[in-house]
Structure 1
Amino acid sequence: MMNRIALALGAFVALTAPASARAESQFKLLVLSIPNKYHYEYIPIARDSLERLAKLHAFEFTWTNDTAAFEGDLGQYAAVMFLNTPGEELNPTQRAKFEAYMRDGGNAIVVHRAAITPPDNWAWYEKLVGRRVGVHPMLQTGVVTVEDAGFPATYGVPPRWIWSDEYYVTTNPYNVRINPVLNVDETSYDPTKIWPGQVARPMGKDHPIAWHHRHEKGRVFVTTLGHNGEMYRDPTYLAHLMGGIYWTATGLGQRR
Structure 2
Amino acid sequence: MKALPLLAALAVSLVPAAAVAEDQFKLLVIAAPSTYHYEYIPVARENLERLARLHGFAVTWTSDGTAFDGDLGQYATVMFLNTPAETLSEPRRRRFEAYMRGGGNALVVHRAAIIPPAAWPWYEQLVGRSFVNHPMLQTGVVTVTDKSFPATFGLPDRWIWSDEYYVTANPYKVTIHPVLNADETSYDPTRIWPGQIGRRMGKDHPEAWYHSYEKGRVFVTLLGHNVEMYRDDRYLQHLLGGIYWTATGRGQG
Indicate the residue corresponding to 1:59 in structure 2: 57
Amino acid at match of 1:23: A
2:206 to 198, 205, 208: 208
Q: Aligned to 1:97, which of 67, 92, 95?
A: 95
Instruction: Name the count of aligned residue pairs.
Output: 252
Q: Any idea what the Cα deviations from partners look like across 1:170-220, whole Å, max 9, x if unmatched?
A: 000100000001001000000111111111111100000000001100000
Alignment-mate amino acid for residue 48 of structure 1 = E
**Residues 1:134 and 1:13: Cα distance change in structure 2 (over 3 Å):** same
One-letter code of the match for 1:176? V
Counterpart check, 1:10 vs 2:11: yes
Please state how far the C-alpha of 1:104 moved relative to its aligned partner. Answer: 0.4
Q: 1:46 aligns with which of 41, 44, 57?
A: 44
What code does the residue aligned with 1:93 have? P
Shift of the 3–153 alpha-carbon distance from structure 1 to 2, 3 Å rule, reads farther
Whole-angstrom CA distance in 1 between matches of 2:156 and 2:4: 51
In structure 1, the gaps of 5 or more residues are none
Seq. identity, %? 69
Unaligned runs of 5+ in 2: none
Correspondent of 1:224 among 213, 222, 225: 222
Which residue of 152, 155, 159 maps to 1:154?
152
Q: Distance in 1 between matches of 2:139 and 2:21?
A: 40
Per-residue deviation, 1:69: 1.5
Q: Which aligned runs of 4 or more in structure 1 are off by greater than 3 angstroms?
A: 1-9
DSSP-derived class of the 2:224 partner: coil
Is 1:24 paired with 2:25? no
* Cα distance in 1 for residues equivalent to 2:226 and 2:10: 48
Aligned to 1:35, the other structure's residue is in SS state coil
Measured in 2, the distance between the counterparts of 1:65 and 1:206 equals 34
CA distance in 1, matches of 2:242, 2:221: 8
In structure 2, the partner of 1:141 is 139
Quote the offset at 1:22 in angstroms: 1.7
Distance across 2 between alignment mates of 1:55 and 1:141:
32
Q: Which residue of 2 aligns with 1:120?
A: 118
Partner residue, 1:86: 84
> Cα deviation per residue 1:135-164 (whole Å; 9 max; x = unaligned)?
111111111000110000001111100111
Q: Does 1:178 align with 2:176?
A: yes
User: 1:24: how far off?
Assistant: 1.1
In the TM superposition, what whole-angstrom CA distance separates every residue of 1:70-112 from its partner, at most 9, and x where no partner exists?
A: 1210000000100000210111111111101000000000000
Please state how far the C-alpha of 1:169 moved relative to its aligned partner: 0.3
Secondary structure of residue in 2 paired with 1:133: strand
CA distance in 1 between counterparts of 2:66 and 2:20 reads 32
Matched residue SS, 1:134: strand
Q: CA deviation at 1:23?
A: 1.4
Counterpart residue identity of residue 235, structure 2: Y
Which of 130, 133, 157 pairs up with 1:132? 130
Q: TM-score, normalised by structure 1?
A: 0.94
Q: Note the C-alpha offset of 1:13.
A: 4.1
Q: What amino acid is aligned across from residue 59 of structure 2 in structure 1?
A: F
Query: Letter of the aligned partner of 1:238 in structure 2?
Result: L
Shift of 1:165: 0.6
Q: CA separation in 1, counterparts of 2:145 and 2:7?
A: 55
Q: Cα distance 1:253–1:3, how it changes in 2: closer, same or farther (>3 A)?
A: farther
Tell me the CA shift for residue 6 of structure 1: 3.7
Evaluate the alpha carbon distance shift between residue 9 and residue 134 of structure 1 in structure 2; reply closer, same or farther with a 3 A threshold.
same
Distance 1:26 1:200, change over 3 A: same
RMSD across aligned positions (CA): 1.5
Q: Is the deviation greater in 68-77 or in 245-254?
A: 68-77
